[in-house]
Amino acid sequence: MFFRSYKKSSNPGIKNIFLTFLFIFFYSLTLSILSIFALSYPYALAFGYDLAIVWVFLAMYFGLGIPTFTTNDFFLKYQKLFSTLLILIGVVVLGLQIFDLRLPIISPGSVIFWNATPLAAWLTGLTVLIYTTVWAYLAYRGSTVLSDIKQRRKFYALAFNMVCIGVSALLFFPSHSELQSLISFLLIVPAYIFTIVVFLASSRQTSV
């Protein structure tokens, strides 16, 4: 359904939504494949994690083209600046991880700690947190002009979910604790699912 909307739509917002969630899917798929098939290959885990980080920054890059951002005059005016800044942070993170390569650690409970360079891990987590917090603020602000209470509540929930995703990222990327990883997982899964449902519903309405 969403892919059909992407192919038929001339709306760049729809295409950016598609690409954002496509790269989020690639990120999840990459980590899942590594967790299942590469536990015995530490270098595959390390470089696979680097690839997953590429997907994260690409998702955020295309996310800047989603109407949540482009309908805001300030972000629209400085969109190129924010996009460039995001690319630079991604390059710095990847450079740190590649030139200071650290092999992942597998706990006795089979939990993978990706063990990235601390600066890179915290930089990734903070970037995602700031990004999702701004997204949450803009979603909340946009909800104030809606007269439909159901739509307004949906935007409130979306704003809350984006904050949950940001906090989850801040816990996950520098994690060296099974409890920290568990909390991150419990925060991101329901928020991730609900966010996709909201955007799929929105894209369907937009394409009609």
Check pLDDT > 70 for residue 10: no
Domain count, the chain: 1
- By C-alpha distance, which of 89, 95, 97, 91 is closest to 129? 89
Q: What is the DSSP string of 35-48?
A: HHH-TT-HHHHHHH
Give the residue numbers spanning the domain of 58.
Answer: 2-207
Q: What is the DSSP string of 115-152?
A: ---HHHHHHHHHHHHHHHHHHHHHHHHHHTT---HHHH
pLDDT of residue 26: 96
pLDDT of residue 2: 47
Question: Which comes out higher in pLDDT, residue 152 or 162?
Answer: 162
What span, in angstroms and rounded, lies between the C-alpha atoms of 141 and 87?
27
3-state helix, strand, coil in the chain (%, to 5): 80, 0, 20
What is the pTM assigned to this prediction? 0.84
pLDDT of residue 208: 44
DSSP 56: H
* Lowest-confidence segment of 35-39, 86-90, 109-113, 142-146 by average pLDDT: 142-146
pLDDT of residue 205: 53
Going from the C-alpha of 41 to that of each of 80, 103, 140, the distances in angstroms are: 39, 10, 44
Check pLDDT > 70 for residue 4: no
- Which residues does 44 contact at the CB level (< 8 Å), separation at least 6? 34, 38
For 119-139, the pLDDT digits (tens) are 999 999 999 999 999 989 888
